[in-house]
Protein backbone atom coordinates (compact mmCIF):
# COMPACT_ATOMS: atom_id res chain seq x y z
CA UNK A 1 0.00 0.00 0.00
CA UNK A 2 2.82 2.40 0.89
CA UNK A 3 4.60 1.63 -2.38
CA UNK A 4 1.42 2.30 -4.33
CA UNK A 5 0.94 5.69 -2.59
CA UNK A 6 4.59 6.57 -3.21
CA UNK A 7 4.24 5.68 -6.90
CA UNK A 8 1.10 7.81 -7.25
CA UNK A 9 2.89 10.69 -5.51
CA UNK A 10 5.80 10.44 -7.93
CA UNK A 11 3.46 10.38 -10.93
CA UNK A 12 1.70 13.51 -9.65
CA UNK A 13 5.01 15.34 -9.14
CA UNK A 14 6.29 14.41 -12.62
CA UNK A 15 2.95 15.40 -14.17
CA UNK A 16 2.93 18.78 -12.46
CA UNK A 17 6.52 19.38 -13.58
CA UNK A 18 5.72 18.44 -17.20
CA UNK A 19 2.59 20.60 -17.22
CA UNK A 20 4.66 23.49 -15.90
CA UNK A 21 7.39 23.06 -18.55
CA UNK A 22 4.97 22.49 -21.43
CA UNK A 23 2.77 25.36 -20.28
CA UNK A 24 5.71 27.75 -20.25
CA UNK A 25 6.80 26.54 -23.69
CA UNK A 26 3.32 27.09 -25.15
CA UNK A 27 2.99 30.46 -23.42
CA UNK A 28 6.40 31.51 -24.78
CA UNK A 29 5.28 30.55 -28.28
CA UNK A 30 2.02 32.51 -28.02
CA UNK A 31 3.51 35.64 -26.48
CA UNK A 32 5.11 38.29 -28.67
CA UNK A 33 8.83 38.66 -27.95
CA UNK A 34 9.75 41.73 -25.94
CA UNK A 35 12.35 44.05 -27.43
CA UNK A 36 13.18 46.06 -24.30
CA UNK A 37 13.11 45.44 -20.56
CA UNK A 38 12.04 48.42 -18.45
CA UNK A 39 13.18 46.54 -15.35
CA UNK A 40 16.72 45.94 -16.63
CA UNK A 41 16.85 49.07 -18.82
CA UNK A 42 18.33 47.16 -21.77
CA UNK A 43 17.44 45.61 -25.11
CA UNK A 44 16.50 41.94 -24.92
CA UNK A 45 17.90 39.13 -27.05
CA UNK A 46 15.82 38.16 -30.08
CA UNK A 47 15.61 34.74 -31.73
CA UNK A 48 18.99 34.12 -33.40
CA UNK A 49 19.43 33.65 -37.13
CA UNK A 50 20.03 29.99 -37.98
CA UNK A 51 22.72 28.78 -40.33
CA UNK A 52 24.87 25.67 -40.36
CA UNK A 53 27.92 27.87 -39.83
CA UNK A 54 26.35 29.55 -36.78
CA UNK A 55 25.38 26.14 -35.41
CA UNK A 56 28.89 24.77 -35.93
CA UNK A 57 30.75 27.68 -34.27
CA UNK A 58 28.30 27.87 -31.36
CA UNK A 59 26.90 31.31 -32.23
CA UNK A 60 23.39 29.96 -32.71
CA UNK A 61 23.28 27.96 -29.45
CA UNK A 62 24.74 30.90 -27.47
CA UNK A 63 22.15 33.22 -28.98
CA UNK A 64 19.38 30.73 -28.31
CA UNK A 65 20.39 30.46 -24.66
CA UNK A 66 20.32 34.26 -24.26
CA UNK A 67 17.00 34.42 -26.11
CA UNK A 68 15.34 31.83 -23.85
CA UNK A 69 16.68 33.58 -20.75
CA UNK A 70 15.55 37.05 -21.87
CA UNK A 71 12.14 36.01 -23.23
CA UNK A 72 11.14 33.77 -20.30
CA UNK A 73 7.45 34.46 -19.54
CA UNK A 74 6.88 36.33 -16.27
CA UNK A 75 10.65 36.70 -15.84
CA UNK A 76 10.34 39.90 -13.79
CA UNK A 77 7.68 38.34 -11.56
CA UNK A 78 9.75 35.19 -11.03
CA UNK A 79 12.84 37.21 -10.10
CA UNK A 80 10.73 39.21 -7.64
CA UNK A 81 9.36 36.00 -6.15
CA UNK A 82 12.89 34.62 -5.68
CA UNK A 83 14.05 37.84 -4.03
CA UNK A 84 11.14 37.83 -1.58
CA UNK A 85 11.72 34.15 -0.79
CA UNK A 86 15.37 34.94 0.00
CA UNK A 87 14.31 37.85 2.21
CA UNK A 88 11.93 35.62 4.14
CA UNK A 89 14.91 33.35 4.74
CA UNK A 90 16.74 36.42 6.16
CA UNK A 91 19.25 36.65 3.30
CA UNK A 92 20.39 40.29 3.46
CA UNK A 93 22.59 40.27 0.33
CA UNK A 94 21.10 39.69 -3.14
CA UNK A 95 22.93 40.21 -6.44
CA UNK A 96 25.42 42.61 -4.88
CA UNK A 97 22.77 44.61 -2.99
CA UNK A 98 22.21 44.69 0.77
CA UNK A 99 18.68 45.04 2.12
CA UNK A 100 19.24 47.77 4.69
CA UNK A 101 17.15 49.29 7.43
CA UNK A 102 14.23 51.62 6.66
CA UNK A 103 13.85 50.23 3.15
CA UNK A 104 17.30 51.22 1.85
CA UNK A 105 18.99 49.19 -0.88
CA UNK A 106 22.77 49.52 -0.47
CA UNK A 107 25.16 48.47 -3.22
CA UNK A 108 28.07 46.33 -2.03
CA UNK A 109 31.54 47.83 -2.47
CA UNK A 110 34.82 46.03 -3.08
CA UNK A 111 37.85 48.21 -3.71
CA UNK A 112 39.71 47.63 -6.98
CA UNK A 113 43.06 49.16 -6.03
CA UNK A 114 44.60 48.68 -9.47
CA UNK A 115 41.76 50.52 -11.24
CA UNK A 116 41.82 53.29 -8.63
CA UNK A 117 45.55 53.81 -9.19
CA UNK A 118 45.12 53.84 -12.97
CA UNK A 119 42.26 56.34 -12.87
CA UNK A 120 43.91 58.71 -10.40
CA UNK A 121 47.07 58.54 -12.50
CA UNK A 122 45.06 59.69 -15.53
CA UNK A 123 43.66 62.63 -13.55
CA UNK A 124 47.21 63.57 -12.53
CA UNK A 125 48.30 63.39 -16.18
CA UNK A 126 45.56 65.86 -17.10
CA UNK A 127 46.76 68.24 -14.39
CA UNK A 128 50.31 68.08 -15.78
CA UNK A 129 49.09 68.74 -19.33
CA UNK A 130 47.11 71.80 -18.13
CA UNK A 131 49.46 73.56 -15.69
CA UNK A 132 47.50 76.82 -15.84
CA UNK A 133 44.05 75.26 -15.31
CA UNK A 134 42.12 75.65 -12.06
CA UNK A 135 41.19 72.02 -11.27
CA UNK A 136 38.96 70.78 -8.43
CA UNK A 137 37.85 67.21 -7.80
CA UNK A 138 34.68 66.32 -5.89
CA UNK A 139 34.60 62.59 -5.11
CA UNK A 140 31.13 61.61 -3.92
CA UNK A 141 30.78 58.64 -1.54
CA UNK A 142 28.00 56.15 -2.24
CA UNK A 143 25.04 55.40 0.00
CA UNK A 144 26.74 52.35 1.51
CA UNK A 145 29.30 54.72 3.03
CA UNK A 146 27.07 57.67 3.95
CA UNK A 147 24.18 55.49 5.13
CA UNK A 148 26.36 52.85 6.80
CA UNK A 149 24.06 52.91 9.81
CA UNK A 150 21.43 51.26 7.57
CA UNK A 151 23.64 48.26 6.77
CA UNK A 152 22.81 44.81 8.16
CA UNK A 153 24.97 44.01 11.18
CA UNK A 154 26.62 41.19 9.24
CA UNK A 155 28.23 42.46 6.03
CA UNK A 156 31.50 42.16 4.13
CA UNK A 157 31.61 45.49 2.31
CA UNK A 158 34.90 47.40 2.05
CA UNK A 159 35.24 50.82 3.68
CA UNK A 160 34.94 53.62 1.12
CA UNK A 161 36.53 56.06 3.55
CA UNK A 162 39.80 54.17 3.10
CA UNK A 163 39.48 54.52 -0.68
CA UNK A 164 38.74 58.24 -0.34
CA UNK A 165 41.83 58.79 1.82
CA UNK A 166 43.91 56.77 -0.65
CA UNK A 167 42.72 58.88 -3.59
CA UNK A 168 43.43 62.12 -1.74
CA UNK A 169 46.96 60.98 -0.96
CA UNK A 170 47.67 59.99 -4.59
CA UNK A 171 46.52 63.19 -6.28
CA UNK A 172 48.85 65.90 -7.59
CA UNK A 173 48.93 68.92 -5.28
CA UNK A 174 47.51 71.01 -8.12
CA UNK A 175 44.22 69.03 -8.01
CA UNK A 176 42.16 70.46 -5.15
CA UNK A 177 40.29 67.57 -3.54
CA UNK A 178 36.92 67.70 -1.78
CA UNK A 179 34.75 64.85 -0.52
CA UNK A 180 31.28 65.67 0.89
CA UNK A 181 30.99 62.58 3.10
CA UNK A 182 30.74 64.50 6.37
CA UNK A 183 28.30 67.07 4.91
CA UNK A 184 26.09 64.28 3.54
CA UNK A 185 26.16 62.35 6.81
CA UNK A 186 25.20 65.49 8.75
CA UNK A 187 22.36 66.29 6.35
CA UNK A 188 21.05 62.72 6.56
CA UNK A 189 21.17 62.91 10.34
CA UNK A 190 19.08 66.10 10.17
CA UNK A 191 16.41 64.36 8.10
CA UNK A 192 17.36 65.15 4.48
CA UNK A 193 17.07 62.19 2.13
CA UNK A 194 20.45 62.44 0.44
CA UNK A 195 20.28 59.10 -1.41
CA UNK A 196 17.43 57.25 -3.05
CA UNK A 197 16.32 54.10 -1.29
CA UNK A 198 16.11 52.06 -4.50
CA UNK A 199 18.74 53.68 -6.74
CA UNK A 200 22.53 54.11 -6.67
CA UNK A 201 22.39 57.89 -7.27
CA UNK A 202 22.19 60.67 -4.73
CA UNK A 203 18.97 62.67 -4.69
CA UNK A 204 18.64 66.24 -5.93
CA UNK A 205 18.72 67.34 -2.27
CA UNK A 206 21.87 65.28 -1.69
CA UNK A 207 23.44 66.86 -4.77
CA UNK A 208 22.62 70.32 -3.34
CA UNK A 209 24.45 69.41 -0.13
CA UNK A 210 27.48 68.34 -2.16
CA UNK A 211 27.29 71.41 -4.40
CA UNK A 212 27.11 73.84 -1.48
CA UNK A 213 30.05 72.11 0.19
CA UNK A 214 32.09 72.29 -3.02
CA UNK A 215 31.36 76.00 -3.49
CA UNK A 216 32.47 76.70 0.07
CA UNK A 217 35.59 74.58 -0.43
CA UNK A 218 36.48 76.50 -3.62
CA UNK A 219 35.86 79.87 -1.97
CA UNK A 220 32.86 80.72 -4.17
CA UNK A 221 29.87 82.83 -3.18
CA UNK A 222 26.81 81.15 -1.72
CA UNK A 223 24.21 80.21 -4.34
CA UNK A 224 21.28 82.66 -4.18
CA UNK A 225 18.95 81.15 -6.80
CA UNK A 226 15.25 80.51 -6.14
CA UNK A 227 13.80 77.24 -7.38
CA UNK A 228 10.45 75.77 -8.16
CA UNK A 229 10.20 72.04 -7.55
CA UNK A 230 8.35 69.30 -9.39
CA UNK A 231 7.95 65.89 -7.76
CA UNK A 232 8.00 62.67 -9.78
CA UNK A 233 6.54 59.77 -7.75
CA UNK A 234 6.85 55.99 -8.07
CA UNK A 235 10.58 55.83 -8.79
CA UNK A 236 12.17 52.38 -8.57
CA UNK A 237 15.86 52.60 -9.42
CA UNK A 238 18.80 50.49 -10.51
CA UNK A 239 19.35 48.74 -7.18
CA UNK A 240 15.72 47.65 -7.11
CA UNK A 241 16.23 46.18 -10.59
CA UNK A 242 19.05 44.02 -9.22
CA UNK A 243 16.90 42.71 -6.38
CA UNK A 244 13.21 43.47 -7.06
CA UNK A 245 10.87 42.90 -4.14
CA UNK A 246 7.13 43.29 -3.66
CA UNK A 247 7.82 44.93 -0.29
CA UNK A 248 9.84 47.86 -1.72
CA UNK A 249 8.94 51.45 -0.88
CA UNK A 250 9.01 53.63 -4.01
CA UNK A 251 11.06 56.83 -4.16
CA UNK A 252 10.02 60.33 -5.21
CA UNK A 253 12.29 62.36 -7.47
CA UNK A 254 12.55 66.15 -7.24
CA UNK A 255 13.26 68.35 -10.25
CA UNK A 256 14.50 71.86 -9.38
CA UNK A 257 14.09 74.73 -11.86
CA UNK A 258 15.70 78.13 -11.34
CA UNK A 259 12.86 80.67 -11.49
CA UNK A 260 15.10 83.44 -12.83
CA UNK A 261 17.31 81.56 -15.26
CA UNK A 262 16.87 80.70 -18.92
CA UNK A 263 19.13 78.17 -20.62
CA UNK A 264 20.29 77.00 -24.02
CA UNK A 265 21.19 73.32 -23.62
CA UNK A 266 23.25 72.21 -26.62
CA UNK A 267 23.70 68.48 -27.23
CA UNK A 268 26.88 68.96 -29.24
CA UNK A 269 27.04 65.58 -31.00
CA UNK A 270 23.35 65.68 -31.93
CA UNK A 271 23.52 69.37 -32.94
CA UNK A 272 20.31 69.86 -30.98
CA UNK A 273 19.45 72.67 -28.57
CA UNK A 274 16.75 72.71 -25.88
CA UNK A 275 15.69 75.24 -23.25
CA UNK A 276 15.67 72.79 -20.33
CA UNK A 277 17.87 70.09 -18.83
CA UNK A 278 14.81 67.88 -18.29
CA UNK A 279 13.43 65.30 -20.69
CA UNK A 280 9.82 64.81 -19.61
CA UNK A 281 9.40 61.68 -21.76
CA UNK A 282 11.15 59.69 -19.02
CA UNK A 283 8.80 60.79 -16.22
CA UNK A 284 6.41 57.89 -16.89
CA UNK A 285 9.12 55.31 -17.57
CA UNK A 286 10.94 53.15 -15.07
CA UNK A 287 14.25 54.87 -15.85
CA UNK A 288 13.06 58.11 -14.31
CA UNK A 289 16.59 59.30 -13.49
CA UNK A 290 17.10 59.83 -17.23
CA UNK A 291 14.64 62.72 -16.91
CA UNK A 292 17.90 64.61 -16.39
CA UNK A 293 19.05 65.31 -19.97
CA UNK A 294 17.56 62.07 -21.30
CA UNK A 295 20.61 60.14 -20.09
CA UNK A 296 24.36 60.59 -20.54
CA UNK A 297 26.07 62.12 -23.56
CA UNK A 298 29.60 62.86 -24.72
CA UNK A 299 29.37 66.64 -24.65
CA UNK A 300 26.60 68.97 -23.51
CA UNK A 301 27.11 72.73 -23.33
CA UNK A 302 24.72 74.89 -21.28
CA UNK A 303 24.60 78.65 -21.50
CA UNK A 304 22.60 80.45 -18.78
CA UNK A 305 21.41 84.06 -18.87
CA UNK A 306 20.60 84.33 -15.15
CA UNK A 307 23.76 82.82 -13.65
CA UNK A 308 25.55 84.47 -10.75
CA UNK A 309 29.00 84.34 -12.33
CA UNK A 310 30.15 84.89 -15.90
CA UNK A 311 32.56 81.95 -16.09
CA UNK A 312 33.28 79.05 -18.44
CA UNK A 313 33.34 75.81 -16.49
CA UNK A 314 34.12 72.30 -17.67
CA UNK A 315 32.70 69.40 -15.64
CA UNK A 316 34.19 65.95 -16.22
CA UNK A 317 31.50 63.66 -14.90
CA UNK A 318 29.55 60.50 -14.37
CA UNK A 319 25.76 60.39 -13.98
CA UNK A 320 25.96 61.77 -10.42
CA UNK A 321 26.58 65.18 -11.97
CA UNK A 322 23.29 65.20 -13.88
CA UNK A 323 21.01 66.04 -10.96
CA UNK A 324 23.49 68.66 -9.68
CA UNK A 325 23.30 70.67 -12.90
CA UNK A 326 20.39 72.94 -11.84
CA UNK A 327 22.81 74.38 -9.26
CA UNK A 328 25.91 74.60 -11.48
CA UNK A 329 23.92 76.35 -14.23
CA UNK A 330 22.56 78.85 -11.70
CA UNK A 331 26.10 79.62 -10.58
CA UNK A 332 28.03 79.67 -13.89
CA UNK A 333 26.98 81.19 -17.23
CA UNK A 334 28.73 78.63 -19.47
CA UNK A 335 28.93 75.00 -18.35
CA UNK A 336 30.18 72.11 -20.45
CA UNK A 337 29.72 68.50 -19.33
CA UNK A 338 32.02 65.83 -20.76
CA UNK A 339 31.44 62.15 -20.07
CA UNK A 340 34.52 60.09 -21.00
CA UNK A 341 32.44 56.95 -21.60
CA UNK A 342 31.21 58.60 -24.80
CA UNK A 343 33.72 61.38 -25.48
CA UNK A 344 36.89 59.45 -26.33
CA UNK A 345 36.18 59.36 -30.09
CA UNK A 346 35.99 63.18 -30.28
CA UNK A 347 38.61 65.15 -32.29
CA UNK A 348 39.85 67.19 -29.32
CA UNK A 349 41.40 65.64 -26.24
CA UNK A 350 40.19 67.04 -22.91
CA UNK A 351 43.42 69.00 -22.41
CA UNK A 352 43.08 70.47 -25.90
CA UNK A 353 39.43 71.32 -25.22
CA UNK A 354 40.40 73.16 -22.03
CA UNK A 355 43.03 75.24 -23.82
CA UNK A 356 41.11 75.99 -27.02
CA UNK A 357 37.92 76.99 -25.19
CA UNK A 358 39.74 79.05 -22.54
CA UNK A 359 38.03 77.27 -19.66
CA UNK A 360 38.10 79.23 -16.38
CA UNK A 361 37.53 76.28 -14.07
CA UNK A 362 37.68 72.48 -14.38
CA UNK A 363 35.61 70.38 -11.97
CA UNK A 364 35.78 66.61 -11.84
CA UNK A 365 32.63 65.12 -10.32
CA UNK A 366 32.65 61.35 -9.85
CA UNK A 367 31.26 58.88 -7.32
CA UNK A 368 33.57 56.43 -5.56
CA UNK A 369 32.13 53.30 -7.15
CA UNK A 370 32.54 54.82 -10.64
CA UNK A 371 36.17 55.76 -9.98
CA UNK A 372 36.65 52.23 -8.65
CA UNK A 373 35.29 50.43 -11.73
CA UNK A 374 35.30 52.60 -14.86
CA UNK A 375 38.06 52.05 -17.42
CA UNK A 376 37.52 55.15 -19.57
CA UNK A 377 39.73 57.52 -17.56
CA UNK A 378 42.62 56.57 -19.88
CA UNK A 379 41.02 58.93 -22.44
CA UNK A 380 40.82 61.88 -20.07
CA UNK A 381 44.03 63.67 -21.11
Average of per-residue pLDDT across 288-303: 97
Is 282 inside a domain boundary? Answer: yes
Please state the pTM of the whole predicted model.
0.82
Mean pLDDT of the chain: 88
Q: Closest Cα to residue 133, out of 177, 180, 176?
A: 176
345 in any annotated domain: yes
Say yes or no to pLDDT of 174 above 90.
Answer: yes
Residue 368 banded pLDDT, cuts 50, 70, 90:
very high
Do 191 and 160 lie in one domain? The reply is yes
Q: Do 352 and 220 share a domain, yes or no? A: yes
- Which of 62, 93, 124 is a domain's end point? 93
Asked if 41 and 77 sit in the same domain, the reply is yes
Q: How many CA atoms lie within 13 A of 27 on its CB side?
A: 12
Q: Kindly state whether residues 242 and 169 are assigned to the same domain.
A: yes
135 and 60 in a common domain: no
Q: Cα(216)–Cα(49) distance, rounded to whole angstroms?
A: 58
Q: What is the mean pLDDT of residues 83-102?
A: 82
DSSP labels for 112-139? -HHHHHHHHHHHHHHHHH-TTS-EEEEE
Question: 287 and 240 in one domain?
Answer: yes
Residue-level pLDDT at 105:
95
Residues 70 and 184 in one domain: no
Same domain assignment for residues 163 and 26 = no
106-118, pLDDT tens digit by residue? 999 999 999 999 9
The answer on 329 and 189 residing in a single domain is: yes
Same domain, 52 and 141: no
Distances (CA, A) of 295 to 188, 289, 335, 373: 27, 8, 17, 19
Q: Residue 245: pLDDT band by 50, 70, 90 thresholds?
A: confident
In a domain, 102, yes or no: no
- Asked if pLDDT for residue 381 goes beyond 90, the answer is no
For 188-231, write each residue's pLDDT tens digit: 999 999 999 999 999 999 999 999 999 999 999 999 999 999 99
Number of domains composing the chain: 2
Q: Flag whether 106 is in a domain.
A: no
Instruction: Give me the pLDDT at residue 78, please.
Output: 60
CA distances in angstroms from 89 to 85, 92, 108, 242, 258, listed in the order given: 6, 9, 20, 18, 48
Q: Return the SS3 of 242.
A: helix
19, 126: one domain = no
Domain co-membership, 47 together with 196: no
> What is the pLDDT at residue 231?
98
**Residue 315 DSSP one-character state:** E
Give the domain-ending residue among 93, 126, 158. 93
User: Is 70 exceeded by the pLDDT of residue 366?
Assistant: yes
Range of the domain at 86: 2-93
Contacts 24+ apart (CB under 8 A), 77-80: 79/244, 80/244, 80/245, 80/246
CA proximity to 350, closest of 298, 294, 284, 308: 298
Q: Is 19 helix (H, G, I), strand (E, B) or coil?
A: helix
- Asked if residue 101 is part of any domain, the answer here is no
Amino acid sequence: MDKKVEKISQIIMVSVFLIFIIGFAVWSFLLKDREFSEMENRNLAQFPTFSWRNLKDGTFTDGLEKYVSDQLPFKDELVTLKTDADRLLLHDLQNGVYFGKDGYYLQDYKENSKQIETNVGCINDLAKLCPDADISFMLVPNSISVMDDKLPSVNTTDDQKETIDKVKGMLEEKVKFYCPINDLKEAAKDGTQVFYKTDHHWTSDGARVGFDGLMKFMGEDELKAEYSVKEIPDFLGTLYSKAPSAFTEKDTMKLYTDKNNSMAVNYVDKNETKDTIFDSSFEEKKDKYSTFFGGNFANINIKSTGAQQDKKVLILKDSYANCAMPYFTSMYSDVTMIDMRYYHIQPLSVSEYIKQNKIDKVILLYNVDFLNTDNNFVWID
